[in-house]
């Protein structure tokens, strides 16, 4: 496989984690513009774990997920008292606060004659755990897609479980779900934390893929794209957000026809799809139809 194809497929895999996290919130009835913040938390946490503390990548990913879930829960506690657009605005504000915190975050140590660690707006260089172990791009691609397969399978089974049905119920009608005995706020908080952990896992892998991160990597642009991926792909199945990412990166990047106009094409695609299919390409109706054919 050529290096460019490996790069595009790795990007699709990495963005799929954060798109899946936005999807998880969408099926629970919440629109988040802030998943990029937790993506950033995961990137910084995992970078610190492997590059500064010398921990293996596995522990770095676990720490990133724990940090992502904890920060998301902290954001969710007050934000979940808001509804609809107000919740969306609160998550956006939280993500911007996180980005500014990354800009203010300075903690560097000397390792092997080199200064390593977050340095505010200068970013965090030297997250070289993967590179220094001679991991080839194709092997890293396999790691990313292997982890993504585990996540997608877990979410697929979650959706087919009673818990999954309850999450969809609180998304459709929280009032009705509440009268049926569901603790809506607590369940939504769990979903927010799980989505935070998922975004953080993607961020951790991104940091190790890139070897360098900076606060600007986690700005609103990534948040808007993340939400768009889930909305384009569809809210009927966990494969929806993956389809959304693949459509943007795979199709538009793969063709290279649109070049600098790609963002305009992407914006137009989102607008058209939201009019034509408000719940995305793989919405509940399509998924139900596909299941009925088997």
Q: In the complex, what is the shortest distance from the CB of residue 132 to other proteins, in angstroms, rounded to a whole number?
A: 4
**How far is the C-alpha of 127 from the C-alpha of 48, rounded, in Å?**
8
N-to-C CA span, the chain: 34
Q: Smaller CB distance to other proteins: residue 59 or 180?
A: 59
Q: Smaller CB distance to other proteins: residue 71 or 204?
A: 204
Q: In the complex, what is the shortest distance from the CB of residue 187 to other proteins, in angstroms, rounded to a whole number?
A: 31
Q: In the complex, what is the shortest distance from the CB of residue 117 to other proteins, in angstroms, rounded to a whole number?
A: 14
Only one residue has tokens 């290096």, namely: 3
Q: What are phi and psi of 114, to 5 degrees?
A: -125, 140
- By CB under 8 A, residue 143 contacts other proteins: yes
**How far is the C-alpha of 84 from the C-alpha of 93, rounded, in Å?**
15
Q: Smaller CB distance to other proteins: residue 142 or 286?
A: 142
Q: Smaller CB distance to other proteins: residue 108 or 166?
A: 108
Closest CA to 190 of 17, 36, 28, 43: 28
**How far is the C-alpha of 215 from the C-alpha of 119, rounded, in Å?**
10
Q: Smaller CB distance to other proteins: residue 161 or 255?
A: 255
- By CB under 8 A, residue 33 contacts other proteins: no
Asked if 27 and 235 touch (Cβ cutoff 8 Å), the reply is yes
Residue 181 makes CB contacts below 8 A (sequence gap 6+) with none
Interface pick for other proteins out of 219, 250, 269, 284 (rule CB under 8 A): 219
- Residues of this chain that interact with other proteins (CB under 8 A) are 3-4, 7-8, 11, 14-15, 56-58, 61, 100, 103-104, 114, 119-122, 125, 128-135, 138-147, 149, 206, 210-212, 214, 216-217, 219, 221-222, 225, 248-249, 253, 256, 259-260, 262
């Amino acid at each position: 496989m050529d290096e460019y194809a490996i790069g595009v497929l790795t990007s699709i895999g990495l963005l799929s984690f954060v798109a899946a996290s936005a999807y998880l919130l969408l099926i629970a009835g919440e629109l988040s513009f802030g998943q990029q913040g937790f993506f950033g938390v995961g990137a910084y946490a995992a970078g610190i774990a492997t590059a500064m503390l010398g921990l293996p990548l596995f522990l770095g990913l676990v720490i990133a997920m724990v940090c992502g879930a904890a920060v998301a829960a902290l954001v969710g506690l007050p934000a979940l008292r808001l509804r609809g657009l107000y919740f969306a605005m609160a998550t956006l504000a939280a993500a911007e606060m996180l980005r500014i915190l990354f800009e203010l975050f300075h903690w560097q140590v000397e390792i092997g004659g080199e200064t390593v660690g977050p340095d505010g707006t200068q970013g965090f260089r030297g997250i070289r755990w993967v590179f220094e172990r001679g991991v080839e791009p194709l092997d890293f691609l396999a790691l990313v897609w292997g982890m993504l397969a585990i996540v997608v399978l877990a979410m697929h089974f979650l959706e087919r479980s009673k818990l999954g049905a309850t999450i969809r119920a609180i998304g459709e009608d929280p009032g009705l779900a509440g009268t049926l005995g569901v603790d809506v706020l607590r369940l939504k908080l769990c979903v927010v934390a799980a989505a935070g952990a998922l975004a953080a896992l993607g961020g951790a892998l991104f940091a190790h893929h890139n070897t360098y991160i900076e606060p600007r990597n986690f700005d609103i642009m990534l948040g808007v794209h993340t939400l768009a991926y889930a909305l384009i792909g569809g809210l009927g199945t966990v494969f929806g957000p993956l389809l959304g990412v693949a459509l943007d990166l795979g199709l538009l990047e793969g063709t290279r026809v649109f070049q600098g106009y790609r963002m305009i094409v992407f914006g137009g695609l989102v607008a058209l799809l939201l009019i034509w299919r408000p719940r995305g390409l793989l919405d509940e109706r399509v998924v139900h139809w596909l299941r009925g054919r088997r």
